[in-house]
C-alpha cells in the first residue's frame, strides 16, 4: 500500500516564548495520517534564533522569529510558528540571598527585587530589564557588585523604552563590595523611594550606604540621575549623566564623592542640587570638585567641618538661601585667575540669595579669586541693615584677596568688631547697593589695592554703634572711595590716616580721640587728607575732639570742611570743627578749615596747640574758659 502524499504541515511548541539562554523544542506533524513525517527546519532570522535539524530552537537575541518546518516528501508543503525570544525572569527568590546574574544574558524583572543578605554579582554583559513597578533594592545586609567592561557593559533598563522603572536603591548597605562599573542605568526614576522630591532617582543612596560608581552612564531618569543622603559615602567618577530631569542631588555631606571627570550634559537641569532640608550640614572634612555644572544650593546649609572648594567650582543659591560656617567649620575657597570660584544665584538678579555667614576664627577661612554676586537678599540678624553677601558675625576671621563682590542687594561685606579681615587686598566691588561696612577697629585690615566701581553708595561705611572705637594701633589706607563714618566714633589707640585718604561724616557725627588714642593724619601736597561732610553743607557734621596728649596728634596737609554742627559742651559758644580739650594736644601744619558752623578750633584750658600755615577761612579761634578769641592760630 502506498503512503498518502503530504497535504499540510503543522508546528507546535510548549510555549510561543523562549527565554534567552534556554532552548525550546518544536514538534512538526505532517497530515494526513500515514503521510511521510520527515521535515527540514528553518528560521527567518538567524540573528534572533537558530533551529536544529531536530527542531530545537536556540535564542540568539531578543525579538520575534518565524520557524518553518518543510516536508521532505513534498517541499511545497510547510508549516510555521512565531516564537518570541524574551529575557529570563529574574525573581525575588533568585536574588534574596545574593547570587550571580550571568553575563551576556538578558533578564527581566516584573516585580520589585531586594537583595536582603549576601552579594548579588552581575557579570559583564548582563542585561536586566525592569517593569514599571519593578526596582532593585540593596538592603543593609545585602551587597551589589556589577562590574562590566568597556566592550561588555552591564545594562539596567526598562522593559518598555517609553516607560520608567523605579531604579536601584542602596538602603544602608555600607559594604566595600558595592560597585557599579562600566554599566548603563537608564529610564529609572519612575516613582519615588519616599514622598520627598529628591527621592525620585535612578540611583538612590540612603542611610550609611557605601557605593563606588565609575564609568557608569545614568540616563533617562524621571527624577534625578542620582541622590545621595547625609551618611552616604559614595564616589562618582568618569561617569555620564544625560537625559535626566535633574543630573543629581546630594546632601552637603555627600558632595565630597563627586569627581571632576564626569560628563554632565543634556539633562533638563544640568545641575547638582545640594541640601534636602533647612538644617543640613557638611559634617566631615572634605573637598568639593569642579563638577563642570553648578552645585545648586537648594536650602540653607551649614558648614560644621573643614570644607575646601576646588578652582572652578560654581555654587548657585536659590532665593534667600544662605551658607553658614560655624561650630568647627571652615571654608577654604581658593580659585585661580583662570578658574575663579563663583558664589551666585539661580536667577541673575541683584539681591537674590542671602549670602555666606562666617562664625569661626580660622586661618583656613580663605577666599582667593572668588566671585560673589547677587546676594544680600535678607538680614542675618535683627534689622534690615544686616544684609550682606559675606556676613561675618561674632569672633570670626577670613582672609579675602583677589575677589569680586557684585550685585549685592545691600552690602558686599559686613565686618563687625570681632571680624578679622587682615590682609584684605586686591578685591573689587561693583554694582552693589553698598560696598562694605566695617567696624572702626577692623578698618586697618583694608589695603589700598582694593577697587570700587559703580556702586550705588561709593564709600566704605565705618562703625556700627555710637560707642564703637579703634582699640588697636592701625593705619587707614587711602582707597579710591572715601570712608563714610556713619556714627560717633572713638579713637582709643594710635590711628594713622594715610596720605590721600578721604573721610566723610554723617550728619552731627564726631570723631573723638581719647584714652590712649592718637590721630595722625599727615598728607602731602600731592595727596592731601580730607575730612568732609557726607553732604557738602556748612555745619553738617560735628567735628574732631582731641582729648589726649600725644606727639601722634598731628594734622598736616589736611582739609577740614562742613563741620561745626553741634556744641562740644555747654552752649552755642562750644561749636567748632576742632576741639582740643584741657587734656589734649594737637599739631596743625598746612591745614585748611572751611564752611564750619562755629569756630575753627576751640582750645581748652591746659590744652596744647602748635600750628603753622593754617588757612582758617576767616573763622576765629576760642581759648576757653577765658573766652579769649583770636583771629589767627595762637
- 449-473: pLDDT as tens digits: 999 999 999 999 998 889 999 999 9
Confidence of residue 618 (pLDDT cuts 50, 70, 90): low
Q: What pLDDT score does 123 carry? A: 97
Rounded CA-CA distance 93/113 in Å is 9
Confidence of residue 382 (pLDDT cuts 50, 70, 90): confident
Q: What pLDDT score does 20 carry? A: 84
Q: What pLDDT score does 627 carry? A: 52
Question: In this structure, are residues 433 and 455 in contact, taking their beta carbons and an 8 Å threshold?
Answer: yes
Residue 607 cell numbers, joined: 590744652
Cα three-residue angle 612-615-621, rounded to 5 degrees? 85
Mean pLDDT of 521-541: 97
Q: Classify residue 507 by burial, with Cβ atoms within 10 Å: 0-12, 13-18, 19+.
A: middle
Mean pLDDT of 111-117: 97
pLDDT for residue 2 is more than 80: no
Q: What pLDDT score does 397 carry? A: 98
Give first-to-last CA distance, the chain, whole Å: 155
Confidence of residue 383 (pLDDT cuts 50, 70, 90): confident
Rounded CA-CA distance 107/119 in Å is 18
Rounded CA-CA distance 503/483 in Å is 5
Whole-number percent of the chain with pLDDT over 90: 89
Lowest mean pLDDT among 55-64, 265-274, 332-341: 55-64
Residues in the chain: 634
Q: What pLDDT score does 380 carry? A: 96
Give every CB contact of residue 47 below 8 A, 6+ residues apart in sequence. 60, 61, 63
Lowest mean pLDDT among 3-17, 167-181, 232-246, 355-369: 3-17
Q: What pLDDT score does 384 carry? A: 85
Rounded CA-CA distance 161/330 in Å is 46
What are 467-478's pLDDT values in tens digits?
Answer: 999 999 999 999
Whole-number percent of the chain with pLDDT over 70: 97
Average pLDDT, the chain: 95
**For the whole model, what pTM was predicted?**
0.90
Give every CB contact of residue 463 below 8 A, 6+ residues apart in sequence. 439, 440, 485, 486, 487, 488, 489
Q: What pLDDT score does 219 carry? A: 98
Amino acid at each position: 500500500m502506498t503512503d498518502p502524499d503530504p497535504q499540510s504541515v503543522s508546528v507546535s511548541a510548549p510555549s510561543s516564548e523562549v527565554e534567552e539562554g534556554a532552548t525550546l523544542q518544536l514538534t512538526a506533524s505532517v497530515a494526513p495520517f500515514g503521510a511521510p513525517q520527515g521535515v527540514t527546519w528553518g528560521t527567518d532570522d538567524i540573528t534572533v534564533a537558530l533551529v536544529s535539524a531536530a527542531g530545537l530552537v536556540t535564542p540568539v537575541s531578543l525579538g520575534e522569529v518565524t520557524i518553518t518546518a518543510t516536508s521532505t516528501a513534498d517541499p511545497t508543503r510547510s508549516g510555521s510558528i512565531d516564537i518570541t525570544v524574551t529575557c529570563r525572569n529574574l525573581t525575588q527568590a533568585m536574588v534574596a540571598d545574593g547570587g550571580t546574574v550571568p553575563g551576556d544574558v538578558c533578564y527581566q524583572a516584573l516585580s520589585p527585587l531586594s537583595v536582603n543578605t549576601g552579594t548579588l554579582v552581575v557579570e559583564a554583559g548582563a542585561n536586566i530589564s525592569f517593569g514599571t513597578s519593578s526596582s532593585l533594592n540593596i538592603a543593609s545586609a545585602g551587597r551589589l557588585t556589577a562590574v562590566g567592561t568597556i566592550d561588555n557593559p552591564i545594562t539596567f533598563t526598562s522593559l518598555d523604552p517609553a516607560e520608567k522603572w523605579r531604579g536601584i536603591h542602596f538602603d544602608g548597605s555600607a559594604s566595600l563590595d558595592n560597585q557599579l562599573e562600566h554599566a548603563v542605568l537608564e529610564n529609572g526614576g519612575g516613582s519615588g523611594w519616599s514622598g520627598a522630591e529628591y527621592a525620585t532617582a535612578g540611583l538612590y543612596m540612603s542611610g550609611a550606604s557605601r557605593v563606588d560608581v565609575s564609568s557608569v552612564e545614568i540616563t533617562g531618569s524621571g527624577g534625578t540621575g542620582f541622590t545621595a543622603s547625609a551618611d552616604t559615602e559614595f564616589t562618582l567618577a568618569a561617569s555620564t549623566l544625560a537625559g535626566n530631569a535633574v543630573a543629581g542631588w546630594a546632601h552637603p555631606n555627600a558632595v565630597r564623592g563627586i569627581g571632576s571627570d564626569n560628563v554632565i550634559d543634556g539633562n533638563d537641569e544640568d545641575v547638582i542640587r545640594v541640601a534636602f532640608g533647612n538644617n543640613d550640614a557638611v559634617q566631615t572634612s572634605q573637598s568639593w570638585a569642579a563638577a563642570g555644572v553648578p552645585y545648586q544650593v537648594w536650602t540653607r546649609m551649614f558648614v560644621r567641618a573643614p570644607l575646601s572648594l576646588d578652582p572652578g567650582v560654581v555654587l548657585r543659591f536659590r532665593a534667600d538661601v544662605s551658607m553658614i560656617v560655624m561650630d568647627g567649620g571652615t571654608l577654604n575657597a581658593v580659585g585661580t585667575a583662570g578658574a575663579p570660584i563663583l558664589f551666585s544665584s539661580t536667577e541673575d538678579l541683584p539681591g537674590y540669595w542671602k549670602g555666606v555667614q562666617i562664625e569661626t576664627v580660622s586661618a583656613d577661612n580663605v577666599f582667593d579669586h572668588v566671585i560673589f554676586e547677587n546676594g544680600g537678599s535678607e538680614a542675618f540678624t535683627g534689622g534690615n541693615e544686616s544684609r550682606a553677601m559675606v556676613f561675618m558675625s561674632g569672633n570670626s576671621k577670613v582672609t579675602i584677596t583677589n575677589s569680586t563682590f557684585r550685585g549685592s542687594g545691600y552690602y558686599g561685606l559686613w565686618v563687625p568688631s570681632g571680624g578679622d579681615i587682615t590682609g584684605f587686598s586686591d578685591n573689587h566691588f561693583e554694582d552693589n547697593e553698598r560696598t562694605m561696612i566695617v567696624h572702626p577697629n577692623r578698618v586697618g585690615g583694608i589695603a589700598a589695592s582694593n577697587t570700587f566701581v559703580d556702586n550705588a553708595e561709593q564709600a566704605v561705611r565705618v562703625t556700627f554703634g555710637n560707642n564703637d572705637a579703634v582699640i588697636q594701633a592701625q593705619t587707614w589706607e587711602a582707597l579710591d572711595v572715601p570712608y563714610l563714618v556713619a556714627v560717633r566714633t572713638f579713637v582709643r589707640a594710635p590711628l594713622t590716616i594715610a596720605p590721600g585718604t578721604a573721610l566723610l561724616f554723617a550728619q552731627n557725627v564726631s570723631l573723638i580721640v581719647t584714652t590712649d588714642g592718637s590721630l595722625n593724619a599727615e598728607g602731602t601736597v600731592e595727596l592731601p587728607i580730607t575730612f568732609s561732610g557726607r553732604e557738602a553743607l556748612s555745619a553738617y557734621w560735628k567735628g574732631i575732639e582731641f582729648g589726649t596728649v600725644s606727639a601722634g596728634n598731628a594734622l598736616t596737609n589736611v582739609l577740614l570742611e562742613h563741620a561745626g554742627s553741634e556744641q562740644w559742651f555747654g552752649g552755642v559758644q562750644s561749636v567748632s570743627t576742632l576741639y582740643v580739650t584741657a587734656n589734649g594736644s594737637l599739631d596743625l601744619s598746612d591745614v585748611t578749615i572751611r564752611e564750619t558752623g562755629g569756630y575753627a578750633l576751640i582750645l581748652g584750658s591746659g590744652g596744647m596747640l602748635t600750628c603753622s600755615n593754617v588757612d582758617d577761612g576767616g573763622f576765629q579761634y576760642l581759648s576757653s574758659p577765658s573766652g579769649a578769641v583770636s583771629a589767627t592760630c595762637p
